[in-house]
Amino acid sequence: MNLKPKEEVRSEKVKKSLLISIFEGSFWSVMIGLGEKYLSAFAVFLKATNTQIGLLASLPILFSSLSQFFSPNLIEKFKSRKKLVVLGVLINAFSWLLIISVFYLGKYKIYYLILFATIYWVAGAIPYPAWNSWMGDLVSPEHRGAYFGRRTKITVLIILIFTALGGIILDLFKHWLQKPYLGFAAVFFIAMLARLGSAFLMSKQYEPEMVKVEEEDKFSFFDFLKQAPFRNYGIYTIFLMLMNFAVYISAPFFTAYMLYDLHFSYIQYMIILSVPLIAKYLSLPVWGKFSDQYGNKKIMSLTGYLMPIVPILWIFSTNYYYLIIAEIFSGIIWAGFDLSTFNFIFDSTTPQKRARCVSYLSVTTGIMVFLGTMLGSVLIDYNNLFWTKYYLAFLVSGIVRVFVSAILLPRIKERRKVKEISYDRMAYLATRMIVTKGISNILFIFTFSKNHWGNHHSEKELEDKKN
SS (H, E, C) 128-147: HHHHHHHHHHHCCHHHHHHH
Provide the residue ranges of all domains of the chain, joining segments of one domain with +: 15-206+219-421
pLDDT confidence bin for 305, thresholds 50/70/90: very high
Dihedral sign computed on CA atoms, order 10, 12, 18, 22: negative
The answer to whether 20 and 205 are in contact (CB under 8 A) is: yes
CA-closest candidate to residue 155, choices 276, 269, 286, 23: 23
* Per-residue confidence (pLDDT) for residue 141, from 0 to 100: 73
pLDDT confidence bin for 458, thresholds 50/70/90: very low
* Per-residue confidence (pLDDT) for residue 327, from 0 to 100: 94
Look up residue 99 and give its amino acid.
I
Least confident range of 224-238, 308-322, 344-358? 344-358
Fold designation for 15-206+219-421: Growth Hormone; Chain: A; (1.20.1250)
Share of the chain above pLDDT 70, in %: 89
Cα three-residue angle 391-393-395, rounded to 5 degrees: 70
Cα three-residue angle 273-277-280, rounded to 5 degrees: 150
Per-residue pLDDT tens digits for 248-267? 999 989 988 998 899 998 88
Q: Taking residues 11-34, what's their average pLDDT?
A: 90
Q: Count other Cβ atoms within 10 Å, centred on residue 241.
A: 23
The answer to whether 236 and 411 are in contact (CB under 8 A) is: no
The answer to whether 390 and 380 are in contact (CB under 8 A) is: yes
209: left (phi over 0), alpha (psi -120 to 50) or beta: beta
By CB atoms closer than 10 A (0-12, 13-18, 19+), residue 415 is middle
DSSP conformational letter for 216: G
pLDDT confidence bin for 452, thresholds 50/70/90: very low
Outline where 139-220 has alpha helix (H): 144-171, 180-203
Q: Taking residues 34-58, what's their average pLDDT?
A: 90
The answer to whether 344 and 409 are in contact (CB under 8 A) is: no
* Per-residue confidence (pLDDT) for residue 361, from 0 to 100: 85
Q: Residue 72's Cα: distance from chain center in Å?
A: 23
pLDDT confidence bin for 4, thresholds 50/70/90: low
pLDDT confidence bin for 417, thresholds 50/70/90: confident
Least confident range of 44-53, 328-337, 396-405, 444-453? 444-453
DSSP symbols for 287-309:
HHHHHHHH-HHHHHHHHHHHTTH
Q: Taking residues 72-88, what's their average pLDDT?
A: 84
* Per-residue confidence (pLDDT) for residue 453, from 0 to 100: 35
Name every residue whose Cβ is closer than 8 Å to that of residue 300 and which is 6 or more positions away in sequence: 336, 337, 340, 341, 344, 409, 412
The answer to whether 303 and 344 are in contact (CB under 8 A) is: no
Name every residue whose Cβ is closer than 8 Å to that of residue 442 and which is 6 or more positions away in sequence: none
More confident residue, 14 or 203: 203
- Report d(CA 276, CA 326) in Å as an integer: 9
Look up residue 273 and give its amino acid.
L
CA distances from 466 to 136, 233, 458, 460, 462 (A): 63, 74, 12, 10, 6
Per-residue pLDDT tens digits for 110-162? 999 999 999 999 998 888 878 877 887 888 777 777 788 788 888 988 998 99
Q: 332 by DSSP, 3-state: which? A: helix
* Per-residue confidence (pLDDT) for residue 214, from 0 to 100: 59
pLDDT confidence bin for 182, thresholds 50/70/90: very high
More confident residue, 91 or 418: 91
| pLDDT averaged over every residue in the chain | 85
* Per-residue confidence (pLDDT) for residue 133, from 0 to 100: 79
- Report d(CA 246, CA 173) in Å as an integer: 36
Q: Check whether 43 has a pLDDT greater than 90.
A: yes
Q: Check whether 456 has a pLDDT greater than 60.
A: no
- Report d(CA 234, CA 232) in Å as an integer: 5
Q: Check whether 199 has a pLDDT greater than 90.
A: yes
CA-closest candidate to residue 393, choices 262, 253, 241: 253
CA distances from 167 to 19, 33, 255, 256, 428 (A): 30, 10, 13, 16, 35
Least confident range of 93-102, 236-245, 276-285, 347-356? 347-356
* Per-residue confidence (pLDDT) for residue 116, from 0 to 100: 96
